[in-house]
Amino acid sequence: MEVVTALTGVYQADGSVQGELRYVVGKLLGTAHCALCDITHGSVREKRGFAACREALPVPLRNVHLDERSPEIQRFTDGRTPCVVGHTPAGLVLLLDGPALDACEGSVTRFRDALDAALTRLHLRFAP
């Protein structure tokens, strides 16, 4: 069984001040949506429940914006964001895509359940 040594979540937004403002305005107008943002953030800051979820994971989880992706993550996730990617010794694996994140409906609990289900479905486990 392959092991996941780290996780990267990719938001569907740029992290610059201009990118954040563009996202907020788009969200208010109904023209921008990021299911990962809905899971990780409340109105302004990170949800306490998400911070607790991240800390409870046995591997590191780093969330990045589109303009913060490493070249490897950018190549793997182009056209697939928002998403959560698992890092394995064999390479990157898409664990949760946009529809899977949408199905969480902003719930941190559903996110963790979906993550565990994806690991099971893909015959993966977290590294000890």
Q: What residue numbers bound the domain in which 47 lies?
A: 2-126
Residues 6 or more apart whose CB falls under 8 angstroms from that of 32 comprise 12, 13, 22, 23, 25, 26
Query: Residue 49 has what pLDDT?
Result: 96
Measure the CA–CA gap between 47 and 45, rounded to whole angstroms: 6
Measure the CA–CA gap between 1 and 19, rounded to whole angstroms: 39
Output the tens digit of pLDDT for each of the chain's 128 residues.
899 999 999 999 886 667 676 766 667 667 767 899 999 998 778 999 999 999 999 999 999 999 999 999 999 999 999 999 999 999 999 999 999 999 999 999 999 999 999 999 999 999 98
Contact 66, 18 (CB under 8 A): no
Instruction: Identify the CA nearest to 95 among candidates 68, 122, 113, 74.
Output: 122
- Name the pTM for this structure: 0.90
Tokens representing 48 are 């306490």
What angle, rounded to 10 degrees, do the helices at 108-121 and 48-56 form?
30
| The residue type at 6 | A
